Amino acid sequence: MRSIWNGAISFGLVSIPIKLVNATESHSVSFRQIHAEDGGRIRYRKVCELEDREVTQAEIGKAYEDADGSMIPITDEDLSHLPIPTARTIEIVAFVPEERIDPLQMGSAYYLAASGAPAAKPYTLLREALKRSNRVAIAKFALRGRERLGMLRVVGDAIAMHGLLWPDEVRAPEGVAPDAGVTVRDQELDLADALMDTLGEIDLDDLHDEYQEALEEVIAAKSAGEAPPEAREEERPGKVLDLMAALESSVRAARESRGGEEAGPAEEAEVRPLPRAQKSSRRAPKETGGKKSTSAAAKKTAAKKAAPKKSTAAAGKSTAKSAQPAKKSTAGSTAKKATGRSAAAKSTARTTAKKTASRKRSA
């Protein structure tokens, strides 16, 4: 890897010669601007406004634009006299726990490579000291014309440095959170936990840039004179206004996307539905007429047997059977009446036959 800066790490009185190399690289596809009609390249030329002519790089200097629009020239000699003690040194100023660093401050990442054999021993010493202390080093360094803040930490067998923003460069999150007071219920948190457990963990090495892959396919197809591939239309779920319903749908979709197999923490995920509204403890009003009577009503009816209107045995039997539906009671009453009439008819027929027989004997 090509170094972009050479200097030394100042670790107390110990100086460690190092080379700074980029720890990351960009794989993004870059485009050129062209004239849409004929495909000609669009280029930018640096032109002096006063002379109206193109100038070379050697003729270009630096200047600061004042509030009134005037230009204040700043030469390289002016910059060389700036009081920057870290011009060629990464000066370690403190060692702190890594959790003290706000991730919002982190910027570009670099590897610090030992420069030459004499740097191997002090480099290894600093690396092992960082490992054993479980801390990171906070340092100042100068790069591309300005002093910067950095964090040194151990990555494998190497020391990496993250460029940090100065604390006053990080904005406070004022006005970002919702203004209105929002209450989150335990059931919603349970579903959110179930969704996180269902999604589970993932190996970051398995993630890749799908947009770049699709873009490369388009470029390859156009280069071969073929039609670019069409993007597949994914089904968009309907708009869900209920947060609980949205969470439940998300849990189901996550489980389906994983083929219904849940490993690890996902197997312990449980979706608990909202508790139903409790039924009222008040009893329903007593119903009369053709509805079934309650046992309490039957007891009250039985207690009224001593009343003058219901003193007969027939009334008692009728009362005892009042718990049956009206239709059954009416049918039973009709059947009893029919049976009674039949018995009376038979009794009358026997009496008539006896009278006729006695008359014949007397004759």
The per-residue pLDDT for 234 is 65
Give 140's strand partners. 91, 149
Q: In 3-state terms, what secondary structure has residue 102?
A: coil
Question: Residue 36 — left, alpha, or beta (φ > 0 → left; ψ -120 to 50 → alpha)?
Answer: alpha
Could you tell me if 153 and 98 are in contact, meaning their C-beta atoms sit under 8 angstroms apart? yes
Residues 6+ apart with CB under 8 A from 267: none
Using the predicted structure, report yes or no on whether residue 244 has a pLDDT greater than 50.
yes
Block residue for tokens 């604390």: 167
Confidence category of residue 273, pLDDT binned at 50, 70, 90:
low
Integer Cα distance of 136 and 44 in angstroms: 44
Mean pLDDT of 89-107: 93
Tell which phi-psi region holds residue 104, choosing left (phi > 0), alpha (psi between -120 and 50) or beta: alpha
The alpha-helical segments, DSSP class H, found in 30-143 are 76-80, 120-133
**Residue of 182, 183, 189 whose CA lies nearest to 244:** 189
b vs e for 82-95, b when ≥16 Cβ sit within 10 Å of the residue's Cβ?
eebebeebbbbeee
Are the C-beta atoms of 150 and 141 separated by less than 8 Å? Answer: yes
Q: Is the pLDDT of residue 183 over 60?
A: yes
139-178 per-position pLDDT tens digit:
999 887 788 999 999 999 999 999 999 999 999 998 888 8
